[in-house]
Chain A
Amino acid sequence: MTDQTTTLPDSDQKSKEAYFTASQGQLIWARFKKQRAAMIAAMVLVVLILSGLFAPFLSPYNPTIAGKNDEYTNGAPQIPQFCDDAGCSLRPFVYSVERERSMATNFRWVTKINTEDRKYIQFFVEGWDYKLFGFIPMDTHLFGAPEGFVHIFGTDSTGKDIFSRTLHAIWTSMQVGSIGVFIAFVLALVIGGISGYYGGWIDSVLQMITDAVRTVPAIPLFMAVAAFMPPEISAEARFFYISLILGFIGWPTLARRVRTHLLTERNQEYVLAAQLCGASSGHVIRRHLLPSFTSYIIVDLVISFPYMVLSETALSFIGLGLKDPVNSLGVMLQNVTNADVLLNYQWYFIPVIFFIALVMAFVFVGDGLRDAADPYSDTHK
């Protein structure tokens, strides 16, 4: 046996050593890296998070009503191009548009694209004021068309830029989801923790309540709770309430997981061994129990995140969630069911693609993490 190990090449030996001395985080990362789908999803997720974080910088227009473009309401997406009949330019450009309505157009506003008049897109232009990360005042934006306007995803009925709104909506959804998941997590940890740690009748009673809450369909329950919000409260307060509600209703599934983890881990030999060595229960919880399931809990949190986002979207969509100055996918989709939008303004649906990407990315990353965090996942295959 000893011969075999010494004959191994040096690098192999090193990698083996690295494997056996690696921390849990390193092991999970190593397993996670092997999964192509999860890695791609993780990159998409990072891009989306960054674009949400830098939303004000990336978006050429103010996403609220202050940034509306009266000249171009319900405007179609303008696609920047480099070449046209008049030749090519290194700088991308869009055409200027003119609108008119007259007897000939049946008194509807009709947009005419003037292919003679190019509006060049410039980078790092000055635009509306904003605060990056909430405290750095800036007015530089990645791109814009100072001579005219550029709406790469089009505009909505009030002339707000859909691209800017989408970026801000991603960030809003992330925030709502994070706060919701955090509240749900704290509740789940307390309730599931008590349930799992004490066991016995406390466990039975708490489980019964958890199960009862789980039986009520969540979205109708969300709706019922959200209906209490007084309609006159400010958009920011609404935002906070919605996150709170999502958290208060989302805990049962997590609580059940925490409880199950605790119940199984509590009776493991290594806990008994630690106790027999004279470790205090605080030490056992801190040094042995918590590390044994933090990875699982993190995975659970990542997995439950998209459901929070989707619930918020659903709630806002029916008008019980966030309201206008705050942008979220649900808010942006509020008016799309009417026939006018369906027939004439299909670019209202562009944000949906981003949200499917966001949710898919979360689901794939969560799944990849779950496989990576499971030390037996290799042996399954």
Chain B
Amino acid sequence: MLQFSKFVATRAVMALITLIIVSLVVFSLMELVPGDCAERYLAFKNTQGSGISMADIENERIRLGLDKPFLQRWGLWIFNAFQGDFGDSCILRVDIAQLLGDKFWISLALCLASLTLAYAIAIPVGIIAAASSNAFLNNGLRLFSYLGLAMPNFLLALMIMLIGTVYFGETLTGLFSPEYRDAGWSWDRVVDLLQHAWLPIFILGWSATAFALQTVRALMSDEIGKLYVTAAAARGVSGGKLLWRYPARHALGPIVNSLGFDLNRIFNELPIVALILTLTEAGALLIEALARSNDQQLAGAIIFLLTASIVTLNFLTDVLLAVLDPRVRKSIIR
């Protein structure tokens, strides 16, 4: 038990270090953009008719604390970020936490739902594919997996939109019906969300499923030929019970471990899919911030939050794996 808590603590510290390195990268990116907040604020004032001078800009910098050294500002930013406070967006002049609101949680929920969908399909199908010697099934799955790799989600989204508009005359976009867009959370709103969310979940889950299928199948076929499986079969265990209780338990370990990277891959596609389907959530906001308004504070906050969710998931899966698999627990602690 002591060993286990030590393991959890080490993992937590490592996750924290990763987050800090990431935050440094993100913060440096934000800083590299030409022009800072002070200039932006005053440029806005300039459009309102009041003349400004270099001294005004300097004063504004001091007021915003932008004259402090880089590392100090980074420290402050990350300290606040961990408390969920990302400061104000210079372009929109509103609090970022308020702007993001539950949009980020919707995004995260969409991605996790796609991840769940991907594995709900991939695990049973992958196990069956590895166990069966049906050439047709295997080739079909291989083709599907390659299609999943070759056809990026945004192309798929475009194709679905194309088919949707041509054959059904519906655009299939958005996350909420107009009447619920700005309403508070209620049961009806959740139902409305679910009615719209299946398409983004399916699209985001598409290539994730292809990836997951390949992984599950490869890991299973590695395990299935091993001696302990033959031994179990010789003892009279057979069918689904044999697959599930012996090779699957070993094969699924690495998959639990790679969940974080799968989430990473899904997040990767989220902004562009969101753009095509005009979803109102954090991914679309990210594109808005980067491609349209050049709002680095907002973009930095979103990228940081995305990465933080991945790191958290990585940490959770590490712990989960250690709970499930004594070999991992032993080997890492030592």
Pick the contact of B155 from A217, A221, A318, A356 — CB < 8 Å?
Answer: A356
Pick the contact of B150 from A211, A221, A359 — CB < 8 Å?
Answer: A359
Pick the contact of A339 from B17, B154, B171 — CB < 8 Å?
Answer: B171
User: In the complex, which residue of chain B has the Cβ closest to the Cβ of A216?
Assistant: B307
Pick the contact of B290 from A215, A223, A336, A363 — CB < 8 Å?
Answer: A223
Interface assignment of B146: CB less than 8 Å from any CB of chain A = yes
Instruction: Tell me if B165 and A310 are in contact (CB < 8 A).
Output: no
Which residues on the A side are within 8 Å of B22 (C-beta)? 212, 215-216
- Bound form: Cα–Cα A316–B313 in Å: 30
How near does chain B come to A128, taking the closest CB pair, in angstroms? 31
Interface assignment of A285: CB less than 8 Å from any CB of chain B = no
Interface assignment of A27: CB less than 8 Å from any CB of chain B = no
Interface assignment of B161: CB less than 8 Å from any CB of chain A = yes
Interface hub of A306, A314, A320, A360 (most chain B Cβ within 10 A): A314
Which residues on the A side are within 8 Å of B166 (C-beta)? 342-343, 346
Which residues on the A side are within 8 Å of B26 (C-beta)? 216, 224
Instruction: Tell me if A217 and B299 are in contact (CB < 8 A).
Output: no
Interface assignment of A218: CB less than 8 Å from any CB of chain B = yes
Instruction: Tell me if B268 and A215 are in contact (CB < 8 A).
Output: no
B248-287 vs A, Cβ < 8 Å mask (1 yes, 0 no)? 0000000000001100110111011001100000000011
- B: interface residue count bin: 35 or more
Interface assignment of A219: CB less than 8 Å from any CB of chain B = yes
Interface assignment of A227: CB less than 8 Å from any CB of chain B = yes
Instruction: Tell me if A215 and B294 are in contact (CB < 8 A).
Output: no
A311-328 vs B, Cβ < 8 Å mask (1 yes, 0 no)? 001100111100000000
Pick the contact of A208 from B17, B33, B155, B291 — CB < 8 Å?
Answer: B17
- Bound form: Cα–Cα A219–B267 in Å: 9
- Bound form: Cα–Cα A317–B155 in Å: 10
Assess A342 versus B161: contact at CB under 8 Å? Given A217-B268, A359-B150, A360-B150: yes
Instruction: Tell me if A215 and B307 are in contact (CB < 8 A).
Output: yes
Pick the contact of A318 from B32, B268, B287, B306 — CB < 8 Å?
Answer: B287
Interface assignment of A142: CB less than 8 Å from any CB of chain B = no
- A: interface residue count bin: 35 or more
How near does chain B come to A58, taking the closest CB pair, in angstroms? 24
Instruction: Tell me if A227 and B33 are in contact (CB < 8 A).
Output: yes
- Bound form: Cα–Cα A226–B269 in Å: 16
The DSSP consensus for interface residues of chain B is: helix
Which residues, 141 to 178 on B, are CB-close (under 8 Å) to A?
Answer: 146-147, 149-152, 154-155, 158-159, 161-162, 165-166, 171
Interface assignment of A49: CB less than 8 Å from any CB of chain B = no
Which residues on the B side are within 8 Å of A310 (C-beta)? 152
Which residues on the A side are within 8 Å of B152 (C-beta)? 310, 313-314
Assess A220 versus B150: contact at CB under 8 Å? Given A211-B18, A227-B291, A342-B162: no
Instruction: Tell me if A320 and B290 are in contact (CB < 8 A).
Output: yes
Instruction: Tell me if A215 and B264 are in contact (CB < 8 A).
Output: yes
How near does chain A come to B254, taking the closest CB pair, in angstroms? 15
The DSSP consensus for interface residues of chain A is: helix
Which residues, 277 to 334 on B, are CB-close (under 8 Å) to A?
Answer: 286-287, 290-291, 294, 296, 299-300, 302-303, 306-307, 310-311, 314
- Bound form: Cα–Cα A333–B296 in Å: 26
Interface assignment of A228: CB less than 8 Å from any CB of chain B = yes
Interface assignment of A349: CB less than 8 Å from any CB of chain B = yes
Instruction: Tell me if B165 and A218 are in contact (CB < 8 A).
Output: no
Instruction: Tell me if A228 and B32 are in contact (CB < 8 A).
Output: yes
Assess A317 versus B310: contact at CB under 8 Å? Given A211-B18, A212-B21: no
Pick the contact of B311 from A215, A318, A320 — CB < 8 Å?
Answer: A215
User: In the complex, which residue of chain A has the Cβ closest to the Cβ of B18?
Assistant: A212
Interface assignment of A95: CB less than 8 Å from any CB of chain B = no
Which residues on the B side are within 8 Å of A217 (C-beta)? 264-265, 267-268, 303, 306-307, 310
How near does chain B come to A259, taking the closest CB pair, in angstroms? 17
User: In the complex, which residue of chain A has the Cβ closest to the Cβ of B260?
Assistant: A215
Which residues on the A side are within 8 Å of B151 (C-beta)? 356, 359
Interface assignment of A337: CB less than 8 Å from any CB of chain B = yes
How near does chain B come to A294, taking the closest CB pair, in angstroms? 24
Which residues on the A side are within 8 Å of B260 (C-beta)? 215
Interface assignment of B43: CB less than 8 Å from any CB of chain A = no
Instruction: Tell me if A219 and B161 are in contact (CB < 8 A).
Output: no
Assess A219 versus B269: contact at CB under 8 Å? Given A342-B162, A363-B150: yes
- Bound form: Cα–Cα A333–B272 in Å: 13
Which residues on the B side are within 8 Å of A214 (C-beta)? 261, 264
How near does chain B come to A370, taking the closest CB pair, in angstroms? 12
User: In the complex, which residue of chain B has the Cβ closest to the Cβ of A213?
Assistant: B25
Interface hub of B146, B147, B290, B299 (most chain A Cβ within 10 A): B290
Interface assignment of B29: CB less than 8 Å from any CB of chain A = yes
Instruction: Tell me if A228 and B161 are in contact (CB < 8 A).
Output: no
Instruction: Tell me if A223 and B291 are in contact (CB < 8 A).
Output: yes
Pick the contact of B267 from A208, A212, A220, A343 — CB < 8 Å?
Answer: A220
Which residues, 4 to 45 on B, are CB-close (under 8 Å) to A?
Answer: 17-18, 21-22, 25-26, 29, 32-34
Given A227-B290, A227-B296, A228-B32, 17 extra CB contacts under 8 A: A215-B18, A215-B310, A217-B264, A217-B307, A218-B268, A223-B290, A227-B299, A306-B149, A317-B272, A318-B275, A320-B291, A337-B161, A342-B165, A342-B166, A359-B149, A363-B150, A367-B146
Q: Which positions in B face A, CB cutoff 8 Å?
A: 17-18, 21-22, 25-26, 29, 32-34, 146-147, 149-152, 154-155, 158-159, 161-162, 165-166, 171, 260-261, 264-265, 267-269, 271-272, 275-276, 286-287, 290-291, 294, 296, 299-300, 302-303, 306-307, 310-311, 314
Closest 5 CB pairs of A and B: A212-B21, A359-B150, A217-B267, A360-B150, A342-B165
